[in-house]
Structure 1
């Protein structure tokens, strides 16, 4: 969690983290290169890509189902927009491998060699039969890493008709609502901002639990290097270049004898501090050790 930098009105996908592009724009650019033919055809036809907006978060299963209704029998590349991938050549090669597997009726996961065990991620066991475990506890995560499991990057490649077949176990009433939402888009009775009345009736389901943990169609592609999930301040510190002495400063921050992450929209001075995160934004200030579980700290804050 990246509070207070990332909050309800400022998702981390749209933060630049001291670089020219936000994580969202980087994701678009990274994948746009792989879609040159499709992009050229869209431009020649003077068409733009579809953007479908949910009025509320209903988990990944609902949004994937609606997208599959919209584009039947198409190859999908589903990718988070809050990741950093520095080796784009390796990424492109992995996507090409995944596309070939998806065209054969597989649901393809992208596995990452773990640097350490983290309970924030799902894990994949590659083999003739691919196994998937969603976000185990810390002890189990360490066991999986020791046993050679890979981190699930959250990137998926699949044919929409195959995914729809797997989603038949999705609660029937939910799939009916998803179909109704889609029909409203197709018929022009609603814009691409999905109908709040129908979406409000849907329950929250993630694709991990709905499909990935039970399907027999999983395949795994490896080879992506330079991948980083930007979900903690420590991960930002790891993927950004540090100054001499180990400091990372974004925007205006004066630090002396300090190590780690500083973000400030005003003047801030730190002296002889080590392994700390200091963030000042929008009238909020966070000072914490870089390993602090910000989510747990926020839960305690909500109690007051």
Structure 2
């Protein structure tokens, strides 16, 4: 059996403002109605693979679980990393989990934020990789390069190998991101592939090679996993122990040292969508080379990526631009310099602006809220609560709240009273009152919340009861 291991970490800062620290690119629908995480699951061969194991951080846990449920997938196998420690520790946790019940599955390690357009070609490469992995090899997938790319690492192909009908190559070496002239030589030689960061091997073989080449990672991860706890759909790893783990990639920890590495060439329309220029390359374009998403009108404009999330966006006589409009930010960039978007995010972070971290519209396990307007002492939110869901029982020390139901039905607990509110009805939550909000109905609850007070931050909350395990 093949156990897909999907690594859903990272911040996707080069796709800001679409991607934010709390809602990075793997949770975005960039090509169609499915998110990149959902597409990663959808491209798996359902007959060959069991439900995936997903590794993510604590702040993303509810988004991952919800997107898996929306995709019709069991969301019970989610490991929460206490902090980022690169790919080697993450994969080690997955391997330890896979071996826990006496099984030794084949691990197919994938990133949650890649695009693969040719799914049959991808599945055929997985079949070829499995043939080698069954013989104890550690297999990586190398992307057949289409141009001299300086943003990827490379894998040098060694001697050709075969295993039945499967064809691959020994790994002659891993190469860091090269200069342009060197990348051109790699392309012309035909001996180099892009390093995709995807792998396949038996769980036990990975652990054995890790023990040989990076024993400290194995030791720390084993101890941290032994002290795990279960929280709803999630497996929590000991933070105190895991913090001691070295921060290493799987390439550095294992693949560069093992004598059993095999690379399978993959030509399947792959992209890691690491920038707006790479996103432009994989999207459908109009006759002028423009990617137009949302309400866009162009006049004499060419070769641009234009994403209008909420408003009409118009262009006149521009070329090679990236224009992205969201509810709270607008990005205008030269398409050849979009790698520098990350520098904007760093400036936002240094200034402690919320825009680097979250969208104006924020998702929660019970639904979402949109901060419509904010003043010095007031904040207006549009709150959406899914049927059957309930916000925590809580109180605030610095604000009071007015609630107006727009549609649906709300069950409101306010102090020692519980009432039902329907469309056009309202209530008031005084400062310091213990309260909760629930949607007991069958349709979405839409309501307007008006906060007033001296401090309106999300951290002004004391929870007494929460079905999602939040503190």
The two structures have a TM-score, normalised by structure 1, of: 0.88
| Count, aligned residues | 296
The 3 A distance-change label for structure 1 pair 215 and 170 is closer
Q: Which runs of 5+ in 1 are unaligned?
A: 40-45
Relative distance call for 1:48 and 1:230 in structure 2 (3 A) is closer
1:288 equivalent in structure 2? 333
Distance 1:276 1:173, change over 3 A: same
Q: Is residue 120–residue 135 contact of structure 1 (8 Å, CA) maintained in 2? A: no
Corresponding position of 2:284:
241
More strand by share: 2
Separation in structure 2 between the aligned mates of residue 23 and residue 47 of structure 1, nearest angstrom: 17
Point out which structure has higher relative CO (alpha carbons under 8 A, 6+ apart). 1
**Structure 2 residue corresponding to 1:203, chosen from 239, 243, 246:** 246
Q: Partner of 2:317 in structure 1?
A: 272
Match of 1:263 among 286, 303, 307: 307
Residues 284/275 of structure 1: CA separation in 2 closer, same or farther (3 Å cut): same
Given the alignment of the two structures, is residue 22 of structure 1 paired with residue 35 of structure 2, yes or no? yes
1:83 pairs with 2:125: no
Question: Highest Rg: 1 or 2?
Answer: 2
In structure 2, the gaps of 5 or more residues are 1-13, 52-72, 160-169, 352-471
**RMSD, aligned CA:** 2.5
Q: CA deviation at 1:224?
A: 3.1
Q: 1:90 to 1:49 in 2, by over 3 A?
A: farther
Greater share of helix: 1
TM value normalised by structure 2: 0.58
Distance 2:31 2:293 in 1: 5
Bigger Cα displacement from structure 2, 156-165 vs 125-134: 125-134
**Matching residue within 163, 180, 188 for 1:146:** 188
Distance of 2:153 and 2:105 partners within structure 1: 26
Structure 1 residue 210: Cα displacement: 1.0
- CA gap 1:284/1:212 in 2 versus in 1, 3 angstroms: same
Question: How many Å apart are 1:49 and its aligned residue?
Answer: 5.2
- Runs of at least 4 residues of structure 1 off by over 3 A? 46-49, 169-174, 187-191, 295-304
Distance 1:120 1:34, change over 3 A: farther
Is 1:120 matched up with 2:151?
Answer: yes
- Change in CA separation of 1:173 and 1:189 when aligned onto 2, cut-off 3 Å: farther
Q: CA deviation at 1:255?
A: 2.4
Q: CA offset at residue 23 of structure 1?
A: 0.9
Correspondence for 1:3: 16
Cα distance, 1:251 vs. partner? 2.3
* 1:96 is aligned to 2:109: no
